[in-house]
Chains A and B, each alone.
Chain A
Amino acid sequence: MRLPLRWQSSLTLILFLFMYFPIAVLGLYSFNASRYSSIWEGFSLRWYQQLLGDGRIFSALGTSLAVASLAVAISAVLGTLMAVGLAKYRFPGKGLYQGIAYLPLIVPDIAIAVATLVFLSAIGRTYFGIQLSLWTIIAAHIVFCLAYIALVVSSRLAGLNPHLEEAALDLGATPRQAFIQVLLPELLPGIVAGCLLAFVLSMDDLLISSFTAGNGANTLPMEIYSRVRTGMKPDINALSVLLILGSGMLAFVAEFWRAGGDSSGSLRSNRAQSK
């Protein structure tokens, strides 16, 4: 396929560089023997060694990954259903419902974190015996992940060809078939984009996690912010570099393998034909 050379391509390239510039800087200085980026004391793997010997940061990473994956997986289902439902139905109080659905985006993190904690301990513990744990973080993360995913899916839904699902129904599909086989593939890019967004947000959340975490559930941002109190340590930079490289490679391999499996972009090309 020929790569179209337009000004968009150059701008995109520049912005890709912009996005990776700070990462490159972090990466470079993670090999610096000095802890400070203003002093170059020579190449060293000191911070990587220190990182690998640091059980706590990896357990925090594990916690964060678990929270983000579970919260995003659940939110993907709930958020998509909600977006579809909102697009489909009109009912009294819909405006209110929509407003509440947008609320997680607006309420300042710290306020919702504090309020959720007060609520969980006042109501949750007293009446339902809910203890703070990993699950309370996940439950709280679902709230905002849900909203972000629904927002992205809604923007994709808006303006989608409304006759598709109807056609499927006319052809004898059950509503569930129509939803899963026709509507869902249409929405997939939106769902994927929403999940990516929610995942990143969940991985980076400090305040909501801090307040809803039970003991033993230390997330990565909690660990990082606490460590920074006595100065930055490049081992955390090293971790970010490893994370980005690792997940980048993982995605690359997965995509390559998928493309190689002859079903290249199966969903989308099918859809293109069906149009």
Chain B
Amino acid sequence: MAVYSWANYSDQELIESFGQATGIQAQVDTYDSNEVMLAKLQAGGGQNYSILFPSDYMVTQMVELEMLQPLDLTKLEGLDALMPQWQNPTYDPGNAHSVPATWGTTGFIYDPDRLGFEITGWEDLFANQDKLANKVTLINDVREVLGSVLKSQGDSLNATDLEQVEAAYEKLLAFKPAIANFITNGWEDQLASGDVLVAMAYSSDAQVLIAEQPNLVYVVPESGSSVWTDTIAIPKTAPNPEAAYAWINYFLNPENAVALVTRLRFATPNQATYDLLPADLQANRTLFPAPEILAKCEGIAPLPDAATQAYDQYWTQLTSA
């Protein structure tokens, strides 16, 4: 059975133990962005894959494009153990096409002592811009960055009102002197050494660095930001759907998942798995933020073409201003 996945959601041990448990030999190919996966499948290049790991917004998009098989939920065991937020996610109502595998948030990571003030949201950054010249990195993704600022204005992460989007863009443009770069990875060293004071990052990346540098903290803006989910799904063209169900069930099984989650350290959306985790992982506020913060976060959803176009235009302007 062929799996098309991010490199870090499976490892050799998983493939071996899955093979032992089910007798199915899984073979994992990796991609480095949802769009690569989508484009490859759309162009007819992924006929052999039985399992994909699309992110939330990509699930919506692929369902619209009729590329994912509706799941036969009766074949899946342990769906009811999913955390409430993932029982009926907006990106895929009723988990009809996808099963959440891992999730995270987007926020700021910084060293409070070095920075000299606390960050609770974008306002703190904007207000202290003079102290931050070239000391902030933001994620290299238009929807994450603009979306997060939109949230701070009280708007939706998926705003389609172009005035709201422009307002967010203007704020970022004014903040530009503080922005050292738009990078999703590669800020770690600069932050740990103090060359960058604040980095906008995914919680999954942040917790890796915090594990080594406990003086760093990760905060989700009070106004909320994006919560993302990477899911497991079966493409329409899957040659081996039975094995695919076995794979999903293997992930849903708390005993199996707990070993994987502990080893690869990602946040599980499965309450039963969470309950089995070692105490230090359970208490990890970077991976598992407080419910009241999570309640304010939204998932990134696909936008109408006109809005997408506008976001793209603002992004190009922002990165070449």
Which residues in A have some Cβ–Cβ distance to B below 8 Å? Answer: 34-39, 53-56, 114, 117-118, 120-122, 125, 131-132, 206, 210-218, 222-223, 225-232
Contacts and interface: CB of A to CB of B under 8 A. Distances in A.
Contact of B48 (A118, A214, A222): A214
A226 B44 CA distance: 21
Contacts of A56: 11-12, 28
11 contacts: A36-B213, A38-B190, A39-B192, A55-B12, A114-B39, A212-B45, A222-B29, A226-B8, A229-B6, A230-B205, A232-B186
B31 A226 contact: yes
A34 B43 CA distance: 42
B260 interface: no
A229 B43 contact: no
A222 B212 contact: no
Given A36-B209, A121-B45, A232-B185, A226 B7 contact: yes
Contact of B43 (A118, A131, A230, A231): A118
B189 A38 contact: yes
Nearest to B39: A114
A211 B209 CA distance: 32
A211 B208 contact: no
B45 A231 contact: no
Contacts of A53: 12
B2 A215 contact: yes
Contacts of A223: 7, 30
Contact of A218 (B8, B30, B39, B188): B30
A125 B46 CA distance: 12
Nearest to A55: B12
Interface in B194-217: 204-205, 208-209, 212-213
Interface residues of B, number: 37
Contact of A230 (B12, B30, B204): B204
B109 to A, nearest CB: 12
B88 interface: no
A36 B213 CA distance: 10
Contacts of A121: 43-45
Given A132-B45, A215-B48, A229-B8, A117 B32 contact: no
Given A34-B212, A214-B48, A230-B208, A222 B189 contact: no
A72 to B, nearest CB: 24
Given A36-B209, A39-B212, A226 B6 contact: yes
Contacts of B45: 117, 120-121, 132, 211-214
Chain B CB within 10 A, most for which of A37, A38, A54, A232? A38
A216 B27 contact: yes
A183 to B, nearest CB: 41
A227 B7 contact: yes
B32 A222 contact: yes
B174 interface: no
A229 B32 contact: yes
A178 B28 CA distance: 51
A222 B39 contact: no
A233 B192 CA distance: 15
Contacts of A227: 7-8, 30
A118 to B, nearest CB: 5
Interface in B91-132: none
B36 interface: yes
Contacts of B212: 34-36, 39
Interface string B56-76: 000000000000000000000
Contact of B7 (A37, A206, A211, A229): A229
B184 to A, nearest CB: 8
Given A121-B44, A229-B8, 11 more contacts: A55-B12, A117-B45, A121-B43, A210-B36, A210-B40, A215-B4, A216-B29, A225-B32, A226-B7, A229-B184, A232-B188
B193 interface: yes
Contacts of A55: 12
Given A210-B40, A230-B204, A222 B30 contact: yes
A215 B192 contact: no
Contact of B31 (A54, A120, A222, A228): A222
A210 B44 CA distance: 13
Contacts of A216: 2, 27, 29
B43 A211 contact: yes
Contacts of A215: 2, 4, 27, 29, 46, 48-49
Nearest to B8: A230
B185 A229 contact: yes
